[in-house]
Amino acid sequence: MTAPPPGKKLNRIGLDLQPYRGSKTTLCAGCGHNAISERIIDAFFEMGVDPRRVVKLSGIGCSSKSPAYFLGGSHGLNAVHGRMPSVGTGAMLANQNLIAIGVSGDGDTGAIGIGQFVHLMRRNLPIIYVIEDNGCYGLTKGQFSPTADVGSKLKNGVVNDLPPIDTCALAVELGATFVARSFSGDKKQLLALLKAALAHRGTVMLDVLSPCVTFNDHEGSTKSYSYVKDHDEPITDVSFVPSFEDIDVDYEPGTTQEVTLHDGSKIYLKKLEGSYDPTDKISALRALHETSRRGEFATGLIYVEPDRDDFITLLNLVDEPLSTLPLEKTRPPKAALDEIMEGLR
Amino acid sequence: MSPTDLALQEAVAKHSDQRVANDFSLQVATVNGSGSQTANLVLLRSIFQMGVPVSGKNMFPSNIAGLPTWFTIRANKHGYAGRKKEVDFLVAMNPETAREDVMTLDPGAACVYDEPLKLSTLRNDVTFYPVPFDKLVTAVSPDAKLRRLVRNMIYDGVLAKLLDIDMAQMEKALNKQLGKKAKAVAINMAALKAGWDFAEKNLSIQHPFRIEPMNATRGKILIEGNTGAAVGCLMAGVTVVAWYPITPSSSLCETLITYMRKYRMDKETGKATFAIVQAEDEIASLGIVLGAGWAGARAMTATAGPGISLMAEFTGLGYYAEVPAVIFDVQRVGPSTGLPTRTAQGDILSIAFLSHGDTKHLMLFPSSPEESYAMAMEAFDLAERFQTPIFVMMDLDLGMNTWMAEPFQYPDKPIDRGKVLDEATLKRIGDWGRYKDVDGDGIPYRTIPGDGMPAYFARGSGHNTRAVYSERADDYINNVDRLARKFETARTFVPKPVVEMNPKASIGLIGFGTSHWAISESRDQLRDETKIETSYLRLRAYPFTGELAEFCERHDHVYVVEQNRDAQMAALMRLELKPEHIAKLRSVLHYNGLPIDARSVTDDVLAQEGLNMAIQRRHAPDEPRGSAGVGGE
């Protein structure tokens, strides 16, 4: 490798930031989604992920436009509304060596896409599924979405009276093996979670509260920037140590839980919430329910199960990507056809 | 008709003097869930093993147990495999339908029935054979549960005797059907024998129908179209399959799963060279297929009309983002749930333009299991060559019924993966854009995620030649015009129609899919019975090719035969043909849920030609109208 030009920061695979950046955002100035795109760029760059191995997927909505604004060096597919999970499933089955990141919104996931969301979580497909969650439909000018909280008010004064779907609780219940919530305004937490997500093998469900500065940032909204900031309740403090860094983390025994992820990376979870154990489903669900009862948003790593078989393993696929298998491996020999024909005589 | 009609009684007697060998249809009427399938397939297979061309059609309800079901076996020395409208020999096992089944028989037919049903008084122009099934089966097995399972095998034994079917062939077919289950074979054999013995002792043969050994099935196979398509997918090197159960397509994927597990496990590792997912619905099925196709897999799904509706939006994405996908539509009667277990060719128009905006899609129309196999393979090549969803238009009659076929030929050419950008091509073309028409054929070069070639962002929204989001008018026009150009290119790649041009004919028939069998037979009827010569063009693909216009040019009247109410294929033709050709189009339409039969085609053509003599034929009550609706001009 030639020496980098002075001043250009390179990551561990020798790339500068360029292929991790995307085209210029067309979202509103100050949109939380842009902050999330920046964290995605940082996480993939810092983890040294080869952009050529990444596929970006999305549904429809403001959130789903964002994959154009990061990882320009990666292939992307903007699917139809609410159906990104199936497209992601197909792409990963075609080539298990890909790293899939899907970006959805709260309407794309919780309303039109709830069916596909549910079944994606069940499969434990290796994918990072990010919900950019602002409690409203931005691209159609601010209608409520299914994650809007009871009592939250639209700009025009309409109050939401249906209970919200807690996508994290659903994901834990349904079988996702890495479930987290964060806030677009919490750079440190979001970055740590995204890097940990890249070290995990299985479905990562990351719900990021991401205020809509245009349609849902007013007094009376429970998804406004200030409301979320005031009610953000980290239940774990996440430190991530990638497998390629040799760092010892000192912690007081009993205060911190250490979890080794699929690729050997470690996360250190400093417990902030009583007896909560993020490797225990029931404990995770209880923590979610208790914080929401208090009117707070539980953030941090909520649930992790690092060792469960993913969908690729479950399907017993050959190690080589299906997409590049040679014809000798995908077309049975003449003897096979003859045998089938013989059985039909 | 009056049961005391003397002339008809004479007709029966006269009929029985002549032997009618290897030319009749036999219908078994049972209750679904009563285990008649084994008995019916053994019967079918034993006739096949005697060298007689045979086909089997199952007319079954959308139900698991307790509703009437009919299985029709047609033995025909000429090899006619379409449905025969008349039933020559009835086996009446279902008390609920027995009377109606008998009343709809043509004079001269024969009927084996369950004795307690007391059917023989209903008609005196039909030969009746009462058989005490319960009494006979009790002697075969003391176990009531087993009795229920083998009761139907008794009529096989009776029929063997009445129709001259070789008992050794029955036994061979039974062994084939039941495989290595020795106990099951033994008790079924006992039931067969009991039926045969009863018939020999008690029944005096009064009907003319017989099976005589022939040599017309040697080397052939018995197969359902869905199985043919499944073998095609297997051999095409399919790697990702996503599906959702729906009649009549389920058996395509289920059969494929069986073959894939047997023949597509990697020898060295024992791991699968494929992924098959039963998805949460048809939307997800096509989503998975598109994701996989985009990422370089050969991917397919199979469904029926309701699934097609759900796939509409994704089909538009596949068309516009240009992602290969193979979709089998095993058509059934709609709209909505329609008649889910009955056959139709009713999805032609909805698929031609499936989704919103300006879309049009490639379709293939297999007529036989052999073509289901060959076109399944071809579909994958075309999907990748044209980077678009392609539909293989089957129907229930083809997919789920049993057909005699030639054994499939092993593919003699490698697969075509289409225009996938590689280093050499990139060097040659220099400036790559995902949607750039480099070669002037409308087909751009694609790259595949993970292949190290330049990336792009695929989307259903407006985009320019570099796959960058664009709402510019010129970008949009350029793109959809190129897609239209690509469709034009497809005309030169899709399978051409099969044309039988008869220089003496002023009448041309056009058909596709399973209508082929009725049309072929109808052409013989028209020639033999009324001296009318016809030409025939069998469509095999959409877009149409130049042969279609030429065929219209060469004939005065062109009958488009199809199995739907609204003459959908003819409507599609009208969009492309010149006015003088359109003026020649007429339609023969059959849409009552049963497979189209030759007699309906013949009658309809004659009526439209002003030759009404055939219309006096009695229509069977199951086909009051619509079996031969007169369409056209």
Angle, vertex CA B244, rays to CA B242 and CA B245, nearest 5:
135
- Test B455 with A68 for CB contact under 8 angstroms: no
List pLDDT tens digits, range B278-295.
999 999 999 999 999 999
- pLDDT per residue as tens digits for the range A77-103: 999 999 999 999 999 999 999 999 999
Q: B341 CB contacts (<8 Å, ≥6 apart)?
A: B59, B60, B61, B62, B247, B248, B332, B396
pLDDT above 70 (res B623): no
Distance CA B483, CA B32 (A): 48
Subunit contact B271:A316, Cβ cutoff 8 A: yes
Which CA distances in Å does A74 have to A55, A91, B444?
6, 13, 19
Is A334 part of a structural domain of the chain?
Answer: no
Record: contact A94-B299, CB cut-off 8 A: yes
Domains and CATH numbers, chain B: 6-210 (3.40.920.10), 223-405 (3.40.50.970), 423-490 (no CATH), 498-630 (3.40.50.920)
Is A4's pLDDT higher than 90? Answer: no
Chain A residues with CB-CB distance to B263 below 8 A: 332, 336
Our CA-based measurement puts residue B513 at a distance from the nearest CA of chain A, in whole angstroms, of: 22
First to last CA, chain A: 63
CB–CB of A330 and B238 under 8 A?
A: yes
Chain B: give the shortest CA distance to residue A344, in Å.
5
**Amino acid symbol at B65:** A
Strand pairing class (B221-224; B402-405): antiparallel
pLDDT tens, A252-283? 777 888 999 999 999 999 877 678 899 999 99
Give the residue on B whose Cα is nearest the Cα of A320.
Answer: B273
- pLDDT of res. B9: 45
Radius of gyration of chain A (CA): 21
Q: Is B288–A89 a contact, with Cβ atoms under 8 angstroms apart?
A: yes
Residues of B in contact with A61 (CB under 8 A): none
DSSP B593: S
Residue B289 contacts A where some CB pair is shorter than 8 Å: yes
Chain B residues within an 8 Å CB radius of A345:
219-222, 407
Specify the residue for token string 């059934």.
B332
- Scanning chain A, the segments in alpha helix (DSSP H) are 32-46, 62-65, 84-94, 106-110, 114-123, 167-174, 187-199, 225-231, 281-293, 311-314, 327-330, 334-343
pLDDT in tens, B26-40: 999 998 888 799 999
Q: Does B110 touch chain A if contact means CB atoms closer than 8 Å?
A: no
Does the beta-carbon distance from B271 to A317 stay under 8 Å?
A: yes
- Token pair 């854009």 is found at B433
Nearest-CB residue to B288 (from A52, A57, A90): A90
DSSP letters, B131-199, are: E-HHHHHHHH-S-HHHHHHHTTHHHHHHHHHHHT--HHHHHHHHHHHHTT-HHHHHHHHHHHHHHHHHH
Mean of the per-residue pLDDT values of chain A? 94
Name the B residues in 572-631 with CB < 8 Å from any A CB.
Answer: none
**Contact flag A77-B457 (C-beta cutoff 8 Å):** yes
DSSP string covering B366-431:
--SHHHHHHHHHHHHHHHHHHTSEEEEEEEHHHHHSEEEEPPPPPP-S------B--HHHHHHH-S
Which DSSP letter does residue B624 get? S
pLDDT above 80 (res B627): no
pLDDT in tens, A19-44: 999 999 999 999 999 999 999 999 99
pLDDT band at B179 (very low <50, low <70, confident <90, very high): confident
Is A74 within a domain? yes
Contact B280 A323 (CB under 8 A): no
Cβ within 8 Å of residue B144, ≥6 positions away: none
User: pLDDT tens-digit profile of B295-310?
Assistant: 999 999 999 999 999 9
Range of the domain at A266: 18-324
- Classify residue A51: in a domain, yes or no: yes
Whether B314 contacts chain A with CB within 8 A: yes
Q: Is residue A338 included in any domain, yes or no?
A: no
Q: Could you tell me which of B68, B104, B103 has the C-alpha nearest to residue B86?
A: B104
Task: With a cut of 50, say whether residue B72 has pLDDT above it.
Answer: yes
Tokens, residue B1:
């008709």
Tokens 């509103």 -> residue? A28
Residue B510 reports pLDDT greater than 60: yes
Q: Which two tokens stand for residue B509?
A: 């028939």
Give the type of residue at B625: R
A and B: number of Cβ contacts within 8 A: 218
Which of B332, B375, B545, B457 has its CA nearest to residue A65?
Answer: B457
DSSP assignments along A26-51, one per residue: -SPTT-HHHHHHHHHHHHHHHTT--G
Tell me the chain B residues in contact with residue A317 when contact means C-beta distances shorter than 8 Å: 271-272, 275
**CATH for A237:** 3.40.50.970
Number of domains in chain A: 1
* Rounded Cα distance, B326 and B301, in Å: 6
Mean per-residue pLDDT, A307-323: 97
Percent of chain A with pLDDT over 90: 91
B234 part of contact set with chain A, CB < 8 Å: yes
> Which residue among B222, B237, B266 places its CB closest to the CB of A318?
B266
Nearest to B282 by CA among B344, B324, B325: B325
The residues, ordered by sequence, that sit 6+ positions from B574 with a Cβ below 8 Å of its Cβ are B582, B585
Quote the pLDDT of residue A6.
65
In this prediction, residue B17 carries a pLDDT of 61
Task: Please check whether residue A203 lies inside any domain of the structure.
Answer: yes
Tokens encoding A82: 């609410």
Among B235, B280, B299, beta carbon nearest to A337: B235
B619 pLDDT higher than 80: no
Percent pLDDT > 90 in chain B is 89
Query: Does the pLDDT at position B3 exceed 50?
Result: no
Q: Do B222 and A344 touch (CB under 8 A)?
A: yes
The model's pLDDT over B105-129, given as tens digits with 9 standing for 90+, comes to 999 999 999 999 999 999 999 999 9
Query: Residues in chain A, how many?
Result: 345
Residue from the list A53, A118, A322 with its beta carbon closest to the beta carbon of B239? A322
Label residues A20-52 b or e (16+ Cβ within 10 Å = b): bbbeebebbeebbbbbbbbbbbbbbbbbebebb
From B236, B269, B314, residue closest to A80, measured CB to CB: B314
Cα separation, A42 vs A20, whole angstroms: 8
Q: What is the pLDDT of residue A2?
A: 53
Mutation for A interface: B178, B410, B416, B447, most A CBs within 10 A: B410
Give the span between the Cα atoms of A103 and A33, in whole angstroms. Answer: 10
Of A93, A315, A319, the CB nearest to B297: A93
B333 pLDDT more than 60: yes
Flag if B450 and A344 touch (Cβ within 8 Å). no
In a domain, A289, yes or no: yes
Cβ contact A90–B239 (<8 Å): no
ipTM of the complex, rounded to two decimals: 0.97
**Dihedral angle of Cα B64, B97, B401, B230, to the nearest 10 degrees:** -10
CB-based contact A323 B259, cutoff 8 Å: no
Q: Please tell me the total number of residues recorded for chain B in this structure.
A: 633
Mean per-residue pLDDT, B459-466: 96
Can you spell out the DSSP letters for B512-544? ETTHHHHHHHHHHHHHHHH---EEEEEE-EES-
Q: What's the confidence (pLDDT) of residue A39?
A: 98
Q: How far is A83 from chain B (nearest CA, A)?
A: 7
Shortest CB distance from A91 goes to which of B223, B274, B291? B291
* Cβ-contact A187, A35 below 8 angstroms: yes
Choose, out of A89, A120, A338, the residue to mutate when testing the contact with B (most B CBs < 10 Å).
A89
Task: Pick from B46, B217, B277, B285 the residue to mutate for testing the A interface (most A CBs within 10 Å).
Answer: B277
Q: Look at residue A145 and tell me if it is in a domain.
A: yes
**Helix (H) or strand (E) segment spanning residue B4:** none
Report the chain B residue with the minimal C-alpha distance to residue A341: B407
B409: closest chain A residue by CA: A337
Give a yes or no: residue A256 inside a domain. Answer: yes
Neighbours of A116 (CB within 10 A): 28
CA gap B11, B89 in Å, rounded? 16
Average pLDDT of the segment spanning B404-414: 97
